[in-house]
């Protein structure tokens, strides 16, 4: 699924979808837009991850929708909540189908500096590593009686968590930098193993989504 | 035999990480290395092994800066005139920590990274990746994320990523540090094959038993100076223990017997020995206490642990008595650390129960249990946050409201921390950090002390002082649980072993009894110690 289209094509399509969602005038438009995304998510078999994401973003959606409802009325509130959840879903679909590394490298081809792309994909690679380190620090401190359970008392002991974690993160960063240096990072004349090429499928996909976007906008704003 | 000219040449090299030249790490190093050697750089912790290796590929001075004097030449050209970018493909470097070394999202991209750096064509990259993966036997790992591999696989991938560059020499900084015996064997075999194909190997390591049989030349570093340099056969006849290096058992026995050719591995020694004589059995490690006289301080009763539908621990039972030193041994991934976390409540069992001093622990919080079970995890850096060693030791006891100054003073004396008390924990050597962490784990006077891989990465000096400490703790009636895959240490200092394999205890008894149980040892992916094999040779 992920390799059918070039990452740049997917990025452009995601931008089109974002415009469509933000420009949508009412629930009649937003609901099918969200529905289409859900259907797609189910087709690519990511339903379980999606439910996890929804649970995670529910409080934010309720808060955002609630505030708008309170200040601008029920319909605006519902629309705000729905817009937010649909946008979150667009990003979800995009990142489920596009590896950050692919996105970064393909953007390098159209002028993004390589170090920027590298930092982007590598920092994501280190999220689980830092997560593991954080868990180890928590375990070590709790094991010697320093309370780390969430709550006010833990606030007092925050240095016990952040201190070792930060120092280890800096150490890791230095080791990483040395390892990158020793494998030629920054050496001029770098080539790329993966090829990113926009072919017919990409251009037709972009054209088709652009047409759809224009059609939807015209229907809502000119021929309504 | 025509000797190839040297590739790496160091002449009166002096180096300090600080710009002003203070705290010099290397002193007047003269060294020539040919491109086809298998060179072992060894020495105690802090002797300058890693620093020396970093001078070979230009990381020193280009990356680490500092103050460098003397000449370092690669193929006749000073490294000050070549960037790391010009050197890395010829002098590939594998670092100690796989976490920092593997930074791509797939193994395939990991191998491709260096090839991209030297600007290869795509078709050539594809060819080299396929070739290297086949040579290293990792074809099936190519699409995987390096984060999700085992320690042994990560090490092989790190080597493959360098090998694909077709270097003249591969430099490895303590490649066996985090590996269990089975993976050490895998990596050793891979390195031997690479060396046979004509690539030079430089390996820095202090555990000689893992390396001397493979190496052609040994360089011994002591406090930043080269004190010995030559073939292992010659070097191992010198007094290297005073440099913090432990003689491999086979070598020690060979020396004692006055053998003309020193055996470097136990396999080479055994055929040279006379037939066993009666009464020549495994000397029992004599326990300081009679076990029967003691009461159990900790009981683990039929615990099992499942997570995400996977069974990690199954039906585990054992007890630890006061004054006993028990070792929980097993390979990486056997479930040792998971089991350890059950003892102080960091993880709760799916079934079964843990009792401390006859109190079931289900309802006790981790912070309550910390008064009874002291744990020192493998990496002391994950707990230090105070500005002085003293504060670091007492912080747990203060949080638990059981701070007792006289006891802390006693600990400081026992662990010989007096001169370090006012220093910053982060500035200590790794061995000193470990001693501080052990003292901190005992600060609340727990009835049982659990040490997670206490000897990992530590040299002979540290191992000896830890051994002495364990003996003293036992005399005071302290129960100690060692969690380790360092069997030779566990054999010397633990009375009893629990052998863990795939989340089950597959053997329980005296170290000799456990190692004699071949089926269990195989299941646990462990090999008997040299000492055991030597004394028990008629049965093996």
Q: Could you write out the DSSP letters of every residue in B242-304?
A: GGT-PPPHHHHHHHHTT-SS---SHHHHGGGSPPPPTT--PPPPPPSS-GGG--EEEEEEEEE
Max avg pLDDT among A23-32, A44-53, A128-137, B118-127: B118-127
Q: Tell me, yes or no, whether A55 and A82 share the same domain.
A: yes
Q: Is the pLDDT of residue B294 over 80?
A: no
Count of domains in chain B? 1
CB contact under 8 A, B399 and A126: no
- Residues in chain A closer than 8 A to B85 (CB atoms): 184, 186-188
Q: Give the minimum alpha-carbon distance from B12 to chain A in angstroms, rounded to a whole number.
A: 24
Cα–Cα distance for residue pair A208/A185, rounded to 1 Å: 39
Among A183, A188, A187, CA closest to B88 = A183
Q: Tell me, yes or no, whether A62 and A14 share the same domain.
A: yes
Identify from A183, A185, A189, A192 which residue to disrupt to test chain B contact, counting B C-beta atoms within 10 A and taking the largest count.
A183
Q: Say if B418 is an interface residue toward chain A (CB within 8 Å).
A: no
pLDDT per residue over B265-286, tens digit each?
Answer: 988 998 888 766 544 455 454 4
DSSP B282: P
Q: What's the pLDDT score for residue B458? A: 86
Q: Say if A137 is an interface residue toward chain B (CB within 8 Å).
A: yes
Q: Give the minimum alpha-carbon distance from B498 to chain A in angstroms, rounded to a whole number.
A: 23
> Which two tokens mark B135?
């040579």
Q: Is the pLDDT of residue B258 over 80?
A: yes
Q: Tell me, yes or no, whether A14 and A90 share the same domain.
A: yes
Region for residue A145 given its phi and psi (left: phi exceeds 0; alpha: psi -120 to 50; beta: otherwise): left
- Per-residue pLDDT, averaged over B335-346, amounts to 94
Cα–Cα distance for residue pair B49/B221, rounded to 1 Å: 7
Q: Say if A121 is an interface residue toward chain B (CB within 8 Å).
A: yes
Q: What's the pLDDT score for residue B287? A: 47
CB contact under 8 A, B399 and A145: yes
- Per-residue pLDDT, averaged over B1-5, amounts to 65
CB contact under 8 A, A146 and B399: yes
Using DSSP bridges, classify how beta strands B67-74 and B8-16 pair: parallel, antiparallel or unpaired: antiparallel
Q: Is residue B30 part of a domain?
A: no
Task: Provide the domain limits for residue B488.
Answer: 295-372+448-458+480-540
Cα–Cα distance for residue pair B449/A38, rounded to 1 Å: 53
What's the pLDDT band for B450 if we cut at 50, 70, 90? very high
CB contact under 8 A, A136 and B382: yes
Among B375, B367, B374, B344, CA closest to B446 = B374
Q: Is residue B189 part of a domain?
A: no
- Residues in chain A closer than 8 A to B108 (CB atoms): 193
Q: Tell me, yes or no, whether A16 and A73 share the same domain.
A: yes
- pTM for the predicted model, two decimal places: 0.86
> Which two tokens mark B245?
């290096």
Q: Say if B456 is an interface residue toward chain A (CB within 8 Å).
A: no
Cα–Cα distance for residue pair A46/A41, rounded to 1 Å: 6
Residues in B 21-80 with any Cβ partner in A closer than 8 A: 57, 59, 62-64
CB contact under 8 A, A139 and B117: no
Q: Tell me, yes or no, whether A49 and A125 share the same domain.
A: no
Q: CA-based angle A3:A6:A8, to the nearest 5? A: 140
Give the nearest chain A residue to B443 (CA atoms): A144
Q: Is residue A11 part of a domain?
A: yes
Q: Say if B119 is an interface residue toward chain A (CB within 8 Å).
A: yes
Axis-axis angle for helices A27-43, A74-97 (nearest 10): 30
Q: Say if B513 is an interface residue toward chain A (CB within 8 Å).
A: no
- Per-residue pLDDT, averaged over B493-502, amounts to 94
Q: Tell me, yes or no, whether A17 and A53 share the same domain.
A: yes
Task: Provide the domain limits for residue A164.
Answer: 109-181
Q: Say if A159 is an interface residue toward chain B (CB within 8 Å).
A: yes
Q: Give the minimum alpha-carbon distance from B248 to chain A in angstroms, rounded to a whole number.
A: 31
Cα–Cα distance for residue pair B34/B1, rounded to 1 Å: 14
Axis-axis angle for helices B181-196, B151-163 (nearest 10): 10
Q: How far is CA B417 from CA A164, A186, B166, in A?
A: 21, 45, 48
Q: Tell me, yes or no, whether A93 and A123 share the same domain.
A: no
CB contact under 8 A, B377 and A171: no
Q: Is residue A191 part of a domain?
A: no
Return the CA Rg of chain A. Answer: 22
Counted across chains A and B, CB pairs separated by less than 8 A come out at 169
Q: Tell me, yes or no, whether A32 and A79 share the same domain.
A: yes
- Residues in chain B closer than 8 A to A128 (CB atoms): 147
Q: What does chain A come to in residues? A: 224
Instruction: Identify which of A125, A142, A164 has the shortest CB distance to residue B105.
Output: A125
List the CATH number of the domain containing B323: 3.40.50.300
- Residues in chain A closer than 8 A to B104 (CB atoms): 101, 122, 125
Q: Say if A111 is an interface residue toward chain B (CB within 8 Å).
A: no
SS3 A179: helix
- Residues in chain A closer than 8 A to B114 (CB atoms): 183-184
Q: What's the pLDDT score for residue B290? A: 46
Q: Is residue B107 part of a domain?
A: no
Q: Rounded to 10 degrees, what is the CA torsion of B235, B238, B244, B248?
A: 70
Give the nearest chain B residue to A99 (CA atoms): B105
Q: Say if B403 is an interface residue toward chain A (CB within 8 Å).
A: no
Selected residue with higher pLDDT from A177 and B178: A177
Q: CA-based angle B182:B186:B191, to the nearest 5? A: 145
Q: Say if B122 is an interface residue toward chain A (CB within 8 Å).
A: yes
Q: Is residue A1 part of a domain?
A: no
SS3 B206: coil
Instruction: Identify which of B62, B88, B370 has the shortest CB distance to residue A184.
Output: B88
Adjacency order of strands within the sheet including B217-222: B91-94, B169-173, B200-204, B38-42, B217-222, B225-230
pLDDT per residue over A69-105, tens digit each?
Answer: 999 999 899 999 999 999 999 999 998 998 888 888 8
Q: Tell me, yes or no, whether A142 and A33 share the same domain.
A: no
**Runs of H (alpha helix) within B29-141:** 49-56, 59-62, 84-87, 98-101, 107-117, 122-136
CB atoms within 10 A of CB A59: 9
- Per-residue pLDDT, averaged over A2-19, amounts to 89
CB atoms within 10 A of CB B349: 20
Q: Say if B427 is an interface residue toward chain A (CB within 8 Å).
A: no
Q: What percent of chain B has pLDDT over 70?
A: 95
Q: Say if B82 is an interface residue toward chain A (CB within 8 Å).
A: no
Instruction: Identify which of B95, B118, B346 has the shortest CB distance to residue A184.
Output: B118
Q: Is residue A40 part of a domain?
A: yes
pLDDT per residue over B130-160, tens digit each?
Answer: 999 998 899 999 999 998 888 889 999 999 9
Cα–Cα distance for residue pair A192/B121, rounded to 1 Å: 8
pLDDT per residue over B155-169, tens digit each?
Answer: 999 999 999 999 999
Count of domains in chain A? 2
What's the pLDDT band for A25 if we cut at 50, 70, 90? confident
Q: Say if A147 is an interface residue toward chain B (CB within 8 Å).
A: yes
Q: Say if A101 is an interface residue toward chain B (CB within 8 Å).
A: yes
pLDDT per residue over B314-327, tens digit each?
Answer: 999 999 998 899 99
Give the nearest chain A residue to B343 (CA atoms): A143
CB contact under 8 A, A182 and B59: yes
Instruction: Identify which of A144, A168, A193 has the shortest CB distance to residue B122.
Output: A193
Q: What's the pLDDT score for residue B540? A: 43
Q: What's the pLDDT score for residue B289? A: 43
Cα–Cα distance for residue pair A53/A38, rounded to 1 Å: 12
pLDDT per residue over A112-166, tens digit each?
Answer: 898 888 888 888 888 888 999 999 999 999 999 888 876 666 677 888 999 999 9
CB contact under 8 A, A160 and B385: yes
Cα–Cα distance for residue pair B357/B372, rounded to 1 Å: 8
Among B99, B52, B57, B54, CA closest to B75 = B57
Q: Is residue A190 part of a domain?
A: no
Give the nearest chain A residue to B118 (CA atoms): A190
Q: Is the pLDDT of residue B354 over 80?
A: yes
Q: Is residue A188 part of a domain?
A: no
Q: Is residue B307 part of a domain?
A: yes
Q: Tell me, yes or no, whether A13 and A89 share the same domain.
A: yes
Q: What's the pLDDT score for residue B208? A: 94
Q: Tell me, yes or no, whether A21 and A51 share the same domain.
A: yes
Residues in B 355-384 with any Cβ partner in A closer than 8 A: 366-367, 370-371, 373-375, 377, 379, 381-384
Q: What percent of chain B has pLDDT over 90?
A: 73
Q: Is residue A127 part of a domain?
A: yes
Q: CA-based angle A146:B473:B500, to the nearest 5? A: 75
Q: Is residue A103 part of a domain?
A: no
pLDDT per residue over B374-433, tens digit each?
Answer: 999 999 999 999 999 999 999 999 999 999 999 999 999 988 899 999 999 988 888 899
CB contact under 8 A, A178 and B95: yes
DSSP B308: T
CB contact under 8 A, A145 and B122: no
Q: Is residue B84 part of a domain?
A: no
Using DSSP bridges, classify how beta strands B296-307 and B310-321 pair: parallel, antiparallel or unpaired: antiparallel
Q: Give the minimum alpha-carbon distance from B460 to chain A in angstroms, rounded to a whole number.
A: 26
Instruction: Identify which of A126, A184, A192 has the shortest CB distance to residue B89.
Output: A184
- Residues in chain A closer than 8 A to B147 (CB atoms): 125, 128-129
Among B178, B143, B177, B173, CA closest to B159 = B173
């Amino acid at each position: 699924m992920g390799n059918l289209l070039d990452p740049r094509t997917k990025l452009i399509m995601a931008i089109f979808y974002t415009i469509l969602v933000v420009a949508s005038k009412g629930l009649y438009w937003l609901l099918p837009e969200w529905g289409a995304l859900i259907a797609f998510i189910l087709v690519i078999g990511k339903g379980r991850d999606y439910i996890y994401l929804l649970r995670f973003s529910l409080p934010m959606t309720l808060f955002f929708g609630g505030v708008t409802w309170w200040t601008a009325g029920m319909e605006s509130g519902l629309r705000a909540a729905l817009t937010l959840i649909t946008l979150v879903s667009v990003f979800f679909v995009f990142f489920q189908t596009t590896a950050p590394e692919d996105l970064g490298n393909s953007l390098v081809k159209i002028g993004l500096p390589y170090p920027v792309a590298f930092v982007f994909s590598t920092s994501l690679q280190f999220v689980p590593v830092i997560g593991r380190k954080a868990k180890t620090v928590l375990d070590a401190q709790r094991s010697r009686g320093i309370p780390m359970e969430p709550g006010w008392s833990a606030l007092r002991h925050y240095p016990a968590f952040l201190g070792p974690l930060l120092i280890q993160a800096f150490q890791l960063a230095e080791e990483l930098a040395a390892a990158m240096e020793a494998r030629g990072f920054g050496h001029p004349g770098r080539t790329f193993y993966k090829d990113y090429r926009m072919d017919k499928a990409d251009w037709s996909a972009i054209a088709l989504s652009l047409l759809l976007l224009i059609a939807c906008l015209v229907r809502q704003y000119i021929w309504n | 035999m025509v000797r190839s000219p040297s590739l790496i040449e160091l002449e009166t090299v002096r180096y300090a990480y600080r710009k002003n030249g203070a705290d010099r790490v290397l002193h007047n190093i003269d060294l020539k290395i040919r491109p086809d050697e298998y060179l072992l750089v060894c020495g105690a912790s802090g002797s300058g092994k890693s620093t020396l290796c970093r001078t070979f590929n230009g990381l020193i001075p280009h990356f680490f800066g500092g103050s460098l004097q003397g000449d370092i030449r690669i193929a006749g050209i000073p490294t000050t005139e070549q960037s790391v970018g010009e050197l890395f493909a010829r002098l590939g470097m594998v670092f100690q920590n796989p976490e920092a070394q593997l930074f791509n999202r797939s193994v395939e991209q990991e191998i491709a990274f260096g090839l991209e750096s030297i600007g290869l064509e795509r078709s050539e990259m594809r060819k080299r990746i396929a070739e290297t993966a086949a040579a290293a036997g990792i074809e099936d790992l190519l699409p995987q994320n390096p984060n999700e591999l085992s320690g042994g696989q990560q090490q092989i991938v790190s080597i493959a990523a360098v090998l694909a560059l077709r270097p003249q020499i591969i430099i490895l900084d303590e490649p066996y540090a985090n590996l269990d015996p089975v993976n050490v064997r895998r990596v050793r075999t891979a390195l031997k094959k690479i060396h046979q194909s004509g690539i030079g190997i430089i390996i820095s390591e202090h555990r000689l038993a893992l390396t001397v049989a493979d190496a052609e030349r040994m360089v011994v570093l002591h406090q930043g100076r080269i004190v010995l340099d030559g073939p292992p056969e010659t070097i191992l006849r010198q007094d290297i223990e005073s440099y913090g290096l432990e003689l491999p058992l086979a070598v020690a026995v060979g020396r004692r017997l006055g053998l003309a050719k020193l055996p470097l591995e136990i396999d080479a020694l055994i055929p040279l020995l006379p037939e066993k004589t009666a009464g020549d059995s495994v000397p029992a490690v004599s326990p300081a206490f009679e076990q029967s006289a003691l009461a159990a301080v900790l009981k683990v009763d039929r615990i099992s642990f499942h997570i995400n539908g996977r069974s990690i621990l199954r039906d585990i039972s054992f007890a630890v008595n006061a004054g006993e030193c028990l070792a929980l041994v097993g390979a990486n991934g056997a479930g040792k650390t998971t089991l350890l976390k059950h003892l102080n409540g960091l993880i709760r069992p799916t079934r079964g129960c843990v009792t401390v001093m006859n109190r079931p622990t289900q309802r006790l919080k981790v912070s309550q249990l910390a008064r009874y079970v002291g744990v020192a995890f493998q990496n002391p850096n994950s707990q230090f946050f105070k500005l002085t060693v003293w504060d670091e030791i007492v912080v747990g006891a203060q949080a638990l409201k059981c701070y007792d100054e006289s006891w802390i003073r006693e600990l400081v004396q026992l662990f010989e921390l007096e001169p370090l008390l006012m220093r910053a924990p982060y500035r200590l050597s790794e061995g000193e950090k470990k001693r501080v962490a052990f003292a901190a784990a005992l600060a609340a006077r727990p009835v049982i002390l659990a040490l997670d891989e206490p000897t990992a990465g530590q040299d002979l000096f540290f191992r000896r002082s830890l051994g002495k400490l364990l003996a003293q703790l036992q005399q005071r009636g302290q129960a100690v649980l060692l969690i380790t895959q360092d069997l030779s240490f566990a054999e010397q200092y633990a009375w009893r072993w629990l052998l863990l394999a795939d989340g089950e205890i597959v053997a329980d008894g005296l170290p000799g009894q456990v190692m004699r149980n071949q089926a269990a040892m195989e299941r646990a992916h462990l090999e008997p110690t040299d000492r055991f094999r030597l004394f028990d040779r008629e049965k093996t």
